[in-house]
Structure 1
Amino acid sequence: MNFPLYIAKRYLRSKSKQNAVNIINFITFLVIVIGSAALFIVLSAFSGLKSFSLQFTDAFDPDLKAIPATGKFFTVSTENDQALQNLKSVAHYSKELEERVYLTFREKSHLATIKGVDSNFQMTTGIDSMLYFGNWGVNEYSGVIGIGAFNILGVPLNNYETPLIALAPKPGKGSINQQVLNSKPYNSLPLVLTGVYAVEENLDRKYVITSLPTVQAFLEKDSLTVSAINFKLSKGFDLESARAEIAAVLGSKGRILSRQELNGSLYKMLNTENVATYLIFTLVLIIALFNVVGAIIMMILDKQQNLRTLFALGSPVRDLRFTFFLQGLLTTCIGGLIGVVIGILIILSQLAFGWLKITPSLAYPVAFDWQNVLLVFLTIAALGFVSAKIASSRINKRLVAIS
């Protein structure tokens, strides 16, 4: 057996004759356990919050989305349609057309976006699963609205007598003259609401969704004009290869964006918060692991007579340093492992029982991720390595030489 490792394990298990040294070692070990458990729990909590936040965008946004390369609209020809249907990487695709409109109901009004979708929209997104109440009645002159806009306007569902009115400027060129004003420079569309969706605050105030042909007629666009195409990818197909196939069909008329690119600012904010939290807790661990340096130095002083004996028997200073380096590394790694196990048990209990609540009906979201396990353990091991190296370097010939 390796001699420094054997001595390090003996020192790790044995108690010192000095009670103060034992107390310092215990506190050091406890700090490592608590610090690693806390770091893992916080990272798991942020992973849960990230998943919880992104589930709303996952419900509203497709795997890939084609938007106009320039302008607000582009055309999808019959040949494009046929080519998209033949793509093996695409399980489903749906076309949509959206534009800013002025919604009015009785004496209330709200600026929103009308989105016309075809019958495949539910297959490319999960928006119908986010219905708060009502049903998905997206047909001619009927649709669904976000709960934010619904609360602003106060529109009853299935109100055929006084439906919601959407207003949009008529397309055209030139200045507005008296003749244009007399003939109403806007188009109006009555909509009977059949359902209300709830995703997140901005989206809930933004959209009213109805059928694609209805919106195309309302905006005076032909049946080939769309503002975006949503794609649901087939299982087993790579995102980038599917993007390349779709781009080959649409050519230069469209840009293909992933769900992450569609929500770039949200992903960037969540990732930045996660990194910042990790760095803050790592700084706390760095401060806490100074205890390891102090504990090892106390052990060195406590075992000074033993070190002199080993040095006199022929053990080189290098091996004596390595002995206490291994002791410090074993202390941090074992403490980190125990802390991670405690953290895993706490996270699994939260997933199973939801004992920590945000609201009476909503448990605090957490996520168990093996990457977090590996990250915490590697962080503890790296900090333990540095701490043990610093402390063991205190051993020199002057310390162990018999005077």
Structure 2
Amino acid sequence: MNFSYYIAKRYLFTKTSNNAINIITIIASFGVIVSSLALFIILSGFSGLRTFSYSLLDASDPDLKITSVKGKSFLLDDDFLQVLDDNPNITTYAKVIEERVFLEYGDKNEVAFVKGVDTNYANVTKIDDAIYIGDWLDTTYTNTAVIGRAIAIKLSLGVNSYGRPLTVMIPKPGKGFINPNNAFYKMDVQVLGLYTGTEEFENKFVYVTLNQAKELLKYQENQVTALELKITNISASDAVAEELQQTLGDTYKVQTKEQLNEVFYKVINTENFVSYLIFTLIIIIALFNVIGAIIMMIIDKKQNLQTLYNLGTTIQEIKKIFVYQGFLLTFFGMLVGLVLGVILVFLQDAFGLFMITENLAYPVEFQFYNLIIVIFTITVLGFVAAKIASSRINQKFIEK
């Protein structure tokens, strides 16, 4: 066994005659345990929050979206659709028409987007899971719509209010004088359901059938504003998007879900990184206790160190004793903190100990990646702290 390591273990696990040093060591260990526990829980919390946030996007955005580079809409032909049908990475796709509209309900008005979708849209996104009240679009009924909960609140609109329809209006294209009484294409719809999701999503869409949108906007039969795609492997979305972009050419733009929500993804990742930095700073502060504990131990064991030095132990080997001691102190503290952290994360995931609302537990997710981050951070910082503390030892200190 390594001589320095053996002595370090003896010093770490054996009580000294000086109670103050014992107390300082316990405080240092407790600081490492708490900081390790906190860092792991924070990282697990952000992992859960990221997964939860991304799940909300599953209802509003497809895996891939194809739009026209020039103009709002484009015409589909058999060759275009054949490219999608022949691609093994594409599970299914939906035709979409999207345009900004005015909404009128009673004496209230709101600006939103009408989104006409075909019957396959529910297979492309998880919009069914987002339905808060009522039902999704049913093609057996005409002039129906599903709107965001926030829009319904602003318009004071309920589901299945048969006495008063929701009016969807879009300005007629053209130049010159416009008669105010005939300036809009209009469509009255009956609201079948409300969907929920992110704040932006709830305030954005009025879903109608594709044929209703074509009729409102006076589009041709094969005219759409976008195609939304579901792919077999979401992790390969960048590669599939690049392949489609090369096949379709510069006339079209193929975007992934991450590109469609670039700001959202950046905010989530930035918050996670900033939180990691903050708690790493807390760990560094906690490790000052470790440095103090080791220095106190060095002073307390000075006579023993002189004996070891006189017996032929080098200064470097004596330094290693306290490097090992500091490293072991932080390592075992980290293990205890991680064990407690893993237990708490699994308990929160299973039983929802901490709630955001009455029906929504704070999301957490266990990931080995977070374990690796904590182990790496604590190990490196603990080693640095031990090196700093042991640097006090030199020949002058031993012989003094």
Question: Which TM-score band (shorter chain)?
Answer: over 0.9
| TM-score, normalisation: structure 1 | 0.94
For the 8 Å contact 2:165–2:189, the answer to whether it is kept is: yes
Structure 2 letter corresponding to 1:40? F
Q: Which residue of 1 aligns with 2:187?
A: 189
State whether residues 100 and 113 of structure 2, in contact with CA within 8 Å, keep that contact through their aligned partners in structure 1. Answer: yes
Distance 1:11 1:156 in 2: 72
Measured against aligned partners, the alpha-carbon deviations of 1:45-80 in whole angstroms (never above 9, x if no partner) come to 222222222221122111111122233222222210
* Alignment correspondent of 1:367: 365
| Residues 134-143 or 192-201, more deviating | 134-143
**Shift, 1:153, TM fit:** 2.2
Paired residue for 1:32? Answer: 32
Corresponding residue of 2:99 = 99
Aligned match of 1:164 in 163, 166, 173? Answer: 166
8 Å CA contact 1:97–1:215 kept in 2: the answer is: yes
Matches within 5 A, 1:1-400: 1-139=1-139, 140-172=142-174, 174-175=175-176, 177=177, 180-181=178-179, 184-235=182-233, 238-400=236-398
Q: Alpha-carbon deviations, 1:13-45, whole Å to 9, x = none?
A: 111111111111111111111111111112222
Cα deviation for residue 137 of structure 1 reads: 2.1
Q: CA deviation at 1:151?
A: 2.0
- The runs of 5 or more residues in structure 1 that have no matched partner are none
1:182-232 alpha-carbon deviations (Å, 9 max, x no partner): 771221111121111111222112111011122112111112222211111
- Verify the 8 A CA contact 2:133 2:159 in the aligned structure 1: no
After TM superposition, give the deviation of residue 170 of structure 1 in Å: 1.6
My pick for the range that moved more, 148-157 or 306-315, is 148-157
Q: Secondary structure at the match of 2:136?
A: coil
Q: Provide the C-alpha distance between the structure 1 equivalents of 2:138 and 2:68, rounded to a whole number of angstroms.
A: 24
* Paired letter, 1:141: N
For residues 211 and 336 of structure 2, the distance between their equivalents in structure 1, rounded to whole angstroms, comes to: 61
**Structure 1 residues 358, 183: CA separation in 2 closer, same or farther (over 3 Å shift)?**
closer
Quote the sequence identity (%). 41
In structure 1, give the amino acid aligned to 2:104. Answer: T
Residue type at the aligned position of 1:241:
A
Q: CA deviation at 1:111?
A: 1.1
What is the DSSP-based 3-state SS (H/G/I as helix, E as strand, rest coil) of the residue aligned with 1:208?
A: strand
**Per-residue deviation, 1:238:** 2.3
**What is the CA deviation profile of residues 76-97 of structure 1, one whole-angstrom value per residue up to 9, with x for unaligned ones?**
2221012211111100111101
Q: C-alpha distance in 2, partners of 1:111/1:253? A: 30
Contact 1:84–1:249, Cα closer than 8 Å, also in 2: no
Deviation of residue 120 (structure 1)?
1.1
Contact 1:46 1:274 in 2 (8 A): yes
How far apart, in 2, do the equivalents of 1:310 and 1:217 lie? Answer: 93
Q: 1:18 to 1:210 in 2, by over 3 A?
A: same
2:182 is paired with a residue whose SS is coil
How many residue pairs are counted as aligned between the two chains?
398
Listed one character per residue, the Cα deviations across residues 332-359 of structure 1 (whole Å, up to 9, x for unaligned) are 1111111111111111111111111122
**Per-residue deviation at 1:246?**
2.1
8 Å CA contact retained: 1:110, 1:153: yes
- Provide the secondary structure at the position in 2 that maps to 1:363: coil
Judged with a 3 Å threshold, the aligned counterparts in structure 2 of structure 1 residues 358 and 218 are, in CA distance, closer, same or farther, namely same
Instruction: Give the TM-score normalised by the residue count of structure 2.
Output: 0.95
| 1:98 CA displacement | 0.8
Q: Is the 8 A contact 2:21 2:297 kept in 1?
A: yes
For 2:331, what is the secondary structure of its paired residue? helix
Distance 1:192 1:53 in 2: 30
**Matching residue's letter, 1:89:** N
Superposition deviation, residue 378 in structure 1: 1.0
- When residues 156 and 280 of structure 1 are mapped into structure 2, their CA distance, relative to the original with a 3 A threshold, is closer
Letter in 2 for 1:238: A
SS at match of 2:249: helix
CA distance in 1, matches of 2:234, 2:121: 21
Contact 2:64–2:241 (CA under 8 A) maintained in structure 1: yes
Three-state SS of the structure 2 residue aligned to 1:343 is helix
- Counterpart contact for 2:63–2:234, Cα < 8 Å: no
CA distance in 2, matches of 1:307, 1:56: 62
